[in-house]
Structure 1
Amino acid sequence: MAVLVVLIVLVIVVGLIFVVLYNGLVALKNKVEAAWAQIDVQLTRRSELIPNLVETVKGYAAHEKDTLDAVIRARNAAQSASGPQEAAAADNMLTGALKSVFALSEAYPDLKANTNFLALQEELTATEDKIAYARQFYNDTVNKYNTKIQTLPSNVIAGMLNYAPREYFEAAGEARGPVSVQF
């Protein structure tokens, strides 16, 4: 009788541990997906601002077609990117193209003084800050998730349920440095 009670208690304890670990894994997985959604929201917001910026610049620097075309190509690549690695590469390309557009404002004083251009530049700068915060939050959440699925005892359950490590949203090369936006 005592053995049966101990066995029942042991099964209940193991079951509770399984439930707690499983729920923790699900919560972290959902948090990673929500963090990625926030990055996607900010990247989409930036992509929506770019056509207005390009149209504003076209009016002042029509012969800078190559620069403006590069921005549009980078924007299209960013919109079609899927997953953190592809999105990071597209994000880096778009950031470089935007730097070129902002550099144009130095060559065109009328553009630099245009209130529409200045407002768009300010919006893009604010959006870049939001992207940086969302990226940091996402990477922190991915770190917690990856650690959880790789450490005992949750790695046993994660392995049984095919939980795989997630990719970080990382900047590559020169994009790891600060982005300078000239006003």
Structure 2
Amino acid sequence: MIHKHSGVPAVRAMIGTGVAVAVRTPLGLRPPQLWSGLRFGGAAAAAVAAGVAAAAVVPQVRAAMHDRELPVGALRWLALDIPLGTVWTEETIFRGLLQTLAARAIGPTGGRLLQAVAFGLWHIPDARKTGEPIVGTVVVTAAAGWVFGWLAERSGSVLAPALAHLAINEVGAVAALVAQR
């Protein structure tokens, strides 16, 4: 599997999409799944954005955002790295590919659980790099993966979890940038 910090964001996104297409994973990017993905994803993204924005004003959270090392090139980070290199790549791999294939083999709940655990473990290198607690990172990202998986199942589209995932990462990134001004 490709790691999110290797290579160019567009290349990572193409690899994730290419693998999903090669194994004929339904991504739900045509109507009516597309519209369902927009509805569920939009609602989830709004809730997530509000939650992250509210958390960003908590002094301890704001201090952690202020102290966090951010990548060089905020525009590239916000416009390419997060949406293509992270969100789209992870959603096609974890919800589009892994969850779909696992659900075929072990059922929907097992498929969602497997991709959620894999998604949590995928974030260990990030936790090590940033000095965040590894167990906490795995638990939180696995829980997010479970919710993202539910959004994909419920809507029939990877767009729903992608919008929620994008909201978490983008609003968090903007909040960290603002905290460091």
Shared fold (TM-score, shorter chain, > 0.5): no
Q: Which has the greater radius of gyration?
A: 1
What's the TM-score, normalizing by structure 2?
0.30
